[in-house]
Amino acid sequence: MRDYSNMPTLDWSGSTSAKRAIAQVHQEEPVILQMPQGFNMDIDADTCGCKAGKGTIQHINCHAENTLTSLAQTNDEPELIELAKVAHEAGQVVDIDTTNRLVIIHD
């Protein structure tokens, strides 16, 4: 299981946090997005290419573009689509902690 303790966390609030996350991911640096209360974290794990996780991290090593685009469409968060493209280009993957509403973008 990957250690997330050294990764910076951004509270997701739309365009401002999106710019910060995009800058972080563009530099191929990991980032944790704390999604707001009420954010729908449901994804299709097979479509997103996820492996099953343990504990609260339910999905690991998901395809970044598919996962972030799915979350963007479900939650009407267009900024996540731009982040999805940058994460894909940077070769990043995504872990999803649905219980704590975390999106972890890493290599």
Mean pLDDT, residues 65-79 taken together: 96
- pTM for this structure? 0.92
pLDDT over threshold 70, residue 55: no
Query: pLDDT per residue over 8-40, tens digit each?
Result: 999 998 788 899 999 999 898 999 999 999 999
Query: pLDDT per residue over 91-104, tens digit each?
Result: 999 999 999 999 99
Ramachandran assignment for 48, one of left (phi > 0), alpha (psi -120 to 50 degrees), beta (any other): alpha
> So where are the chain's domains?
9-106
What are 63's two structure tokens?
A: 């395809």
Rounded to 5°, angle at Cα 57 from 2 and 47: 105
When computed from its CA atoms, the radius of gyration of the chain, rounded to whole angstroms, is: 12
What are 96's two structure tokens?
A: 């999803």
